[in-house]
Chain A
Amino acid sequence: MKRRWTLYDPRLAWMLVAPVFLLLIFFLVLPIAVMTAYTFFTFVTAGVETSALTTANWHEFFTDSYYSGFLVKTLRVGAMTAVLCGVLGYFPAYFIWATTFKHKWLLLLLLIVPFWISFTIRTFSWINILGEQGVINVALLKLGIINEPLPMLYNEGAVILGMLHFLLPYMILNVYVSLESIDRTLIAAARSMGCTSAQAFREVTLPLSLPGLAAGLLLCFVLAAGSYVTPQLLGSGRDALFGNLIYDTIMGELNWPMGATLSIVLFVVLGFFAAVYTRYMGMSQIVKGLAG
């Protein structure tokens, strides 16, 4: 007898999810597979490669310290950015969660407002703030505090600042969502047991908000380590990150096989960190954070 379909039939679930699976295969798995294949192609000259298979690109990557040096630097800058986001983002998140302000939605809206302006324009705006003719230098010069403009632009500090500007809302939202899920009676219980406010925060609030903090750290780290625009606009050549290396190899040298190799390397390395996080924390926290 033919089995009838029910609302909770697994076949129905598969049918519903199938279009997404197909999209994932088409837009994610397939491009990565093509890029992986490209890593074994032979570079002939700028813009020309052959499908003659070779391991030369991988050999170059593993034997040339230039690439590993860049990878380490990228991970360092990504980690520094993520930690700074964590330190600076926790307080606003805590404030929004703890405030008794009636229109809390307004504070959350303020977090989202920057996303309404193009990321590139927001990054460019730092040039007018940090530059030699920028707001800070002009003000300090006019006040007589400095004689020479401070070199605040086109260095690693400017790159990290630009990335903080971009990533901080992601961190705040993640931590806020995590704080919001804490049962406030636990804090009241801690207080009734004799904890001071600081102790209640240290023993209850902070540990329970750590999944959100960890999710924010991962998100900020991955986005910072994979960034291209910010180092390009606010940094000098020395402040380039791995993404810039990939761009130059593909778009400047027109060397697709090597560019593909570097792309796969970055994908695997960042994927590794995401996998480690998922193993210990789970992805659900990031999803909650992104959903706001």
Chain B
Amino acid sequence: MKLNNSKRLERLHDRYQNGDLSRRTFLTLTAAAAAAAGLDMPWMRQALAAVEEVRFDGWGGTVQDAIDKYAFQPYTAKTKLKVVQGTFGDEDEIITKIKTSKPGDYQVIHSSGVNYYIKYVNAGLTSEINEANIPNMVNVLQPMIEPFRKLTPKLSAVPYDYGTTGIAYNTKVISPEEAKEKGAALLLDKKYAGKVGGYSDMTTRVWYAALATGQDPNNLKDMDAIWAKVRETRDLAKKFWSSGAELMDLLSKGEIVVTDAWSGRVAALQDQGAPIGYLDPAGSYAWMEDMLILKGSPMAECEELINFMLDPATSIAVAEGQSYPPSLDPTKVKLTEKIEKLPAFDKSGTMKALTFADPVYWATNEDAWTKQWNRISKGA
């Protein structure tokens, strides 16, 4: 097939969209071609118009405050590129919004790791990052990148932080000794009936039921036992919370005295002087979060933003602010003492001390288990 100028430019555009070309190279080549051939391609006006802002959507609260303060504001000061922010309480909620909007409306998502990454991949919402445009990726922990690369060899997301969902308890009611002795069973202690909380999320509920029934969360053999345990927790629980803000509110107001909880949010509560203890029982649910660039985003600008966020100085400041360890490899980058003391921090850089969910195993069961959990949470 003979290539004409339009075809060549279309291919050039595809390469830019796929992240194979930097924005500058693309504009230079397009402008040169246009000048030479007098062409006017449909995307040219849009492409030549400077990108002035990048859209970011995250979890809100203390986590996003830290990202805004230590990453976005300095980034805007440096590049004049504004980061327009939105928040979500539940990531499925933002996936629905993305699905119903046009590509490019939503651009960078602070996503909950590989379990969610699959959903974006299945729904055709992912982009392809040009890793050469993110040189700071060399400092990112390889054990965190590998699970993403298994799903899509060309990445759409870059791991940014990680944490655990351990047990938070009110130290005025439960002693650290009691918490340590009972571990995950604390959530099922009838003594605290009506004062127990939990994250309203299938993965967390099934994970903790697996720990309670002595099963491997990544290879469940007896689902009936799992659902029975989930029901048991539900009957003891006062409220299943659905956002970090709600978790902090319930704990600090004393509405609940024990709950599974996100390590960083508990650290934030402890910083505020709340009498809250935190325990990571054996096999507690570890997760990672990533910065996901969606299809249709201005790739060069998004990549530049993520590269800035991964800069050790930025990343460390954000990690200290949000109380979640960064995805930087501690064997390559000198981290601070404060970060080394954060819950879930893995100083070896191997991540072997943490138990992550097997994304393929969980994705295979996600639909059926989510449906069952939704029913149980409503009393079924």
Q: Counting CB contacts under 8 A, is A132 at the interface?
A: yes
B123 touches A240 (CB 8 A): no
Contact (Cβ within 8 A) B238 A131: no
With A236-B239, A237-B200, A254-B95 given, is the CB distance from A133 to B119 under 8 Å?
no
Q: Smallest CB–CB gap between B111 and chain A, Å? A: 13
Report the bound CA distance from A47 to B100 in whole Å: 11
Contact indicator A47/B122 (Cβ below 8 Å):
yes
Interface residues in B92-121 (C-beta closer than 8 Å to A): 92-93, 95-96, 99, 119
Determine the distance from Cα of A104 to Cα of B323 in the docked complex, in whole angstroms: 56
Q: Are B378 and A131 in contact (CB under 8 A)?
A: no
Interface presence of A248 (CB below 8 A): yes
Chain A residues with Cβ below 8 Å from B90 are: 251-252
Using known A-B contacts A151-B194, A237-B378, determine if residue A46 contacts B122 with beta carbons closer than 8 Å. yes
**How distant is A149 from chain B, measured CB to nearest CB, in Å?**
9
Task: Verify A131–B253 contact, CB threshold 8 A.
Answer: yes
Q: Give chain A interface residues in 249-277, CB to chain B under 8 Å.
A: 249-255
* B53 proximal to A (CB < 8 A): no
B344-380 CB contact bits vs A (8 Å, 1 = yes)? 0000000000000000000000110011001101111
In whole Å, how far is B101's beta carbon from the nearest beta carbon of chain A? 13
CB–CB B371/A253 < 8 A = yes
B194-211, CB < 8 A from A = 194, 200
Of the residues B239, B370, B371, contact of A154 by C-beta under 8 Å: B239
Question: Which residue of chain B has its CB nearest to the CB of A247?
Answer: B93
Which residues from B are CB-within-8-Å of A66? 375, 380
Q: Is B254 an interface residue (CB 8 A)?
A: yes
Q: A151-B194, A237-B379, A245-B378 are in contact. Are A46 and B254 (CB under 8 A)?
A: no
Q: Which of A240, A253, A255 has the most CB of B within 10 A?
A: A253
Q: Which residues in A have their C-beta under 8 angstroms from that of B375?
A: 66
Q: Are B99 and A47 in contact (CB under 8 A)?
A: yes
CA of A244 to CA of B379 in the docked complex: distance in angstroms? 13
- Please, how many angstroms separate the alpha-carbon atoms of A154 and B250 in the complex? 12
Do residues B238 and A252 form an inter-chain contact, with CB atoms below 8 A?
A: no
Known: A131-B255, A237-B200, A237-B379. A252 touches B370 (CB 8 A): yes
C-alpha gap A66/B26 in the complex (Å): 56
A154 vs B249: C-alpha distance when bound (angstroms): 14
Q: Which residues of B contact A250 (CB under 8 A)?
A: 96
**B285: A residues at CB distance < 8 A:** none
Contact B194 A238 (CB under 8 A): no
**A132 and B95 contact, CB distance less than 8 A:** no
The residues of A that contact B380 with a CB separation of less than 8 Å are 66
Count, chain A residues at interface, CB 8 A:
27
- Cα(A250)–Cα(B374), bound, Å: 12
Contact of A238 among B119, B122, B366, B378 (CB under 8 A): B378
Q: How far is the CA of A48 from the CA of B99 in the complex (A)?
A: 10
Q: How far is the CB of A86 from chain B (nearest CB, A)?
A: 28
Q: Which residues of A contact B240 (CB under 8 A)?
A: 236-237
Measured CA separation A239–B238 after assembly (Å): 12
B92 near A154: Cβ-Cβ < 8 Å: no
Chain A residue, CB-CB nearest to B240: A237
A236 to B255, CA, bound (A): 13
**Is B234 interfacial (CB-CB < 8 Å)?**
yes
Question: What CA separation (Å) do A93 and B99 show in the bound complex?
Answer: 47
Residue B374 contacts which of A48, A238, A248 (CB distance < 8 angstroms)?
A248
**Whole-angstrom distance between the alpha carbons of A132 and B123 in the complex?**
43
Q: Which residue of A lies closest to B100 (CB)?
A: A256
Q: Within the assembled complex, what's the spacing in Å between the Cα atoms of A66 and B379? A: 10
The listed residue (A48, A244, A245, A252) touching B122 by CB distance below 8 A is A48
| A132-B254 in contact (CB<8A) | yes
Name the residue among A131, A237, A245, A250 with the largest chain B CB count within 10 angstroms. Answer: A237
User: With A and B bound together, what is the CA distance between A72 and B238 in angstroms?
Assistant: 24
Q: Which of A153-210 contact B (CB under 8 A)?
A: 153-154
Are the CB atoms of A237 and B254 closer together than 8 Å? no
Q: Which of A47, A70, A127 contacts B119 (CB 8 A)?
A: A47
Query: What are 27 of the A-B contact pairs (CB < 8 Å)?
Result: A45-B122, A46-B366, A47-B119, A47-B123, A66-B380, A70-B378, A127-B249, A131-B253, A133-B255, A151-B194, A237-B200, A237-B234, A237-B240, A237-B378, A237-B379, A238-B378, A245-B378, A248-B374, A251-B90, A251-B96, A252-B90, A252-B374, A253-B370, A254-B92, A254-B96, A255-B367, A255-B371
Nearest first, the 4 closest Cβ-Cβ pairs linking A and B are A237-B377, A238-B379, A47-B123, A133-B253
Known: A45-B367, A127-B253. 13 other contacts (CB 8 A): A46-B366, A47-B119, A70-B378, A133-B255, A236-B239, A236-B240, A237-B378, A237-B379, A249-B374, A251-B96, A253-B92, A253-B371, A254-B96
Could you tell me which A residues sit within 8 Å of B by CB distance? 45-48, 66, 70, 127, 131-133, 151, 153-154, 236-238, 240, 244-245, 248-255
